[in-house]
Amino acid sequence: MDYPTVSRFFHHAGGSRPGLDIVVDQMEIISEWHDGAAVLYRESQTLADSSQNVRWSTAIFQQAEGKIVWRHLQETHLG
């Protein structure tokens, strides 16, 4: 998905899950270079009914024109 598509998705999804709690932890820089980095982290989502969704994510970021750009995201659902 390109940026406009992702932006529209989050704009329309905002507030659609009352009680949603998201925690990001266990962050680790896997690799870094002069204008970017690959980062590993765990994301836990808990819904109002206490059901939980946990995933490991790897993201690649790059600095471009003074901004941090999200270049890639890989998520692995943990059940």
Residue 71 belongs to a domain with what CATH number? 3.10.450.50
Q: Percent of the chain beyond pLDDT 90?
A: 59
Task: Kindly report the backbone phi and psi dihedral angles of residue 45, in degrees, each rounded to the nearest multiple of 5, phi listed first.
Answer: -115, 125
Q: What pLDDT shows up at residue 41?
A: 97
Asked whether residue 68 is assigned to any structural domain, the reply reads yes
Residue pair 20/51 in contact (Cβ under 8 Å)? The answer is no
DSSP string, 52-78: EEEEEEEEEEEEETTEEEEEEEEEEE-
Q: What pLDDT shows up at residue 19?
A: 80
Q: What domain count does the chain have?
A: 1
pLDDT at residue 46 greater than cutoff 90: yes
Report if pTM > 0.85: no
Q: What pLDDT shows up at residue 16?
A: 72
Asked whether residue 55 is assigned to any structural domain, the reply reads yes
The domain of 32 spans 19-77
Asked whether residue 37 is assigned to any structural domain, the reply reads yes
pLDDT at residue 49 greater than cutoff 70: yes
Asked whether residue 2 is assigned to any structural domain, the reply reads no
Cα dihedral 79, 41, 3, 46 sign: positive
Return mean pLDDT, the chain.
89
Cross-strand bridge partners of residue 5: none
